[in-house]
Amino acid sequence: MDQNSTANQPLAGDDAVVPFAVETLDVRGRAVTLGPVLDSILGRHNYPEAVNKLLAQAVTLTAMLGSTLKFDGRLTLQTQTDGAVSMMVVDFNAPDGLRATATFDANQVAEVAAKEDFRPEFLLGRGHLAFTIDQGQYPSRYQGIVVLDGISLEEAAHDYFLRSEQIPTRVRLAVGEVLTRQDEGPNTHQWRAGGIMVQFLPHSPERMRQADIHPGDAPHGTEMHEIDEDDAWLEARSLVDTVRDVELTDPALPVEQLLFRLFHERGVKAFEPHVMSDRCTCSEDKIVSMLQGLGEQDRSEMTEEGAIAVKCDFCGTDYNLDPEVVFKA
Ligand SMILES: [Zn+2]
């Protein structure tokens, strides 16, 4: 019997996270390609191309991690560093909403982006990355923090899962651009990003060996503590490591086909996709309650010529409010 079930259902297409399982390897995972959602998020910001590449990676990672949330939860990825991009915030609001914003120094970005071997993580300096999970109606709030010191977002995700959830995890992220030549008019430009992550979740806990943990501050020359990695996990992560960037961003390669290409010998099952959309959660009510929480001095600083103008950093919506109404209480 064919153990693969990637071919029996309609393809998820762009802007959808596809959960999957390779049961013979005790592996679960998620894969995604983002297209139109990324175009609309990045298109409105008008950030430099290098910033877009980094932010697209962060959005892709957030989509894969956020799609596990239930109810009306929210997952936030936030970086704060001394690099050219001093801050990024990406939110996933269940069940489908993505939004993203970045703060950067344009001159520094241009300098870093001009490097011959440029990689998006060069824009992140030293600092940290925080994942915050809010489970909506439930009071639990969880935050995991990873130190950023030149590592990529992929490596930061590995660290996060190993330290906070003790789950061996492998993540690949890639960002690409599609330029289409038009006979008439300007060429069209489209962003594409793709990601795949696998996690080792064996039924027996003694198989959860973690050879990946950093040796920490052990003095140089200390013999490394050798741990045999589980063969199944070794195989799964090796397969994911073979995924090339172009396979993650190729518009002609659906996620399901990539999964089949990687895991067909072991049998891979794809599950119902989670569709992603470009959706902000700002509203006049939220802006008003934020303003009402401000002290007297901030209130008067926000007020100009008898009006308060607030622009949403994520979606760019302008809110023009009357201070007499906002602060009437
Ligand atoms: Zn907004």
pLDDT over 70 (residue 284): yes
The sign of the CA dihedral 114, 117, 120, 126 is negative
Verify that 199 and 316 share a domain, yes or no.
no
- pLDDT tens for each residue of 63-95: 999 998 877 789 999 999 999 999 999 999 999
How many C-alpha atoms does 263 have within 13 Å on its Cβ side?
Answer: 33
Verify that 185 and 292 share a domain, yes or no.
no
Question: Which is nearest to 91 in space by CA: 134, 146, 151?
Answer: 134
Q: Which region holds residue 306: left if phi is over 0, alpha if psi is between -120 and 50, else beta?
A: left
Segments forming the whole domain that contains residue 288 = 284-326
Q: Is residue 181 one of the residues assigned to a domain?
A: yes
Verify that 241 and 294 share a domain, yes or no.
no
pLDDT over 90 (residue 283): yes
pLDDT over 70 (residue 7): no
Q: Is residue 2 one of the residues assigned to a domain?
A: no
Say if CB 93 and CB 281 are below 8 A apart: yes
What band does 206 get if pLDDT is binned at 50, 70 and 90?
low
Q: Is residue 199 one of the residues assigned to a domain?
A: yes
Say if CB 224 and CB 215 are below 8 A apart: yes
Q: How far is the CA of 120 from the centre of ligand 1 (A)?
A: 25
What contacts 312, CB < 8 A, 6 or more positions away? Answer: 280, 282, 318, 319
pLDDT over 90 (residue 258): yes
Verify that 102 and 116 share a domain, yes or no.
yes
Averaged pLDDT score across all residues of the chain: 89
Q: Is residue 4 one of the residues assigned to a domain?
A: no
Find the length of the chain. Answer: 329
Verify that 29 and 143 share a domain, yes or no.
yes
Say if CB 111 and CB 292 are below 8 A apart: no
Say if CB 77 and CB 57 are below 8 A apart: no
**Element spanning 52, H or E:** helix 49-66
pLDDT of residue 138: 64
Q: How far is the CA of 174 from the centre of ligand 1 (A)?
A: 26
Q: Is residue 6 one of the residues assigned to a domain?
A: no
CATH of the domain at 177: 3.55.30.10
Verify that 178 and 295 share a domain, yes or no.
no
Q: What is the mean pLDDT of residues 265-283?
A: 95
Verify that 93 and 137 share a domain, yes or no.
yes
Q: How far is the CA of 279 from the centre of ligand 1 (A)?
A: 8
Verify that 266 and 290 share a domain, yes or no.
no
Place of tokens 């390897």: 25
User: How many domains does the chain divide into?
Assistant: 2
Question: Which is nearest to 6 in space by CA: 14, 16, 15, 22?
Answer: 22
pLDDT over 90 (residue 275): yes
Q: Is residue 258 one of the residues assigned to a domain?
A: yes
Q: How far is the CA of 55 from the centre of ligand 1 (A)?
A: 17
Share of residues in the chain with pLDDT > 90 (%): 70
Q: Is residue 94 one of the residues assigned to a domain?
A: yes
Verify that 205 and 321 share a domain, yes or no.
no
Verify that 183 and 319 share a domain, yes or no.
no
Q: How far is the CA of 280 from the centre of ligand 1 (A)?
A: 5
Which of 278, 296, 312 is a domain's end point?
Answer: 278
Among 2-6, 71-75, 125-129, 196-200, the minimum mean pLDDT is found in 2-6
pLDDT of residue 40: 95
Q: How far is the CA of 319 from the centre of ligand 1 (A)?
A: 10
pLDDT of residue 141: 77
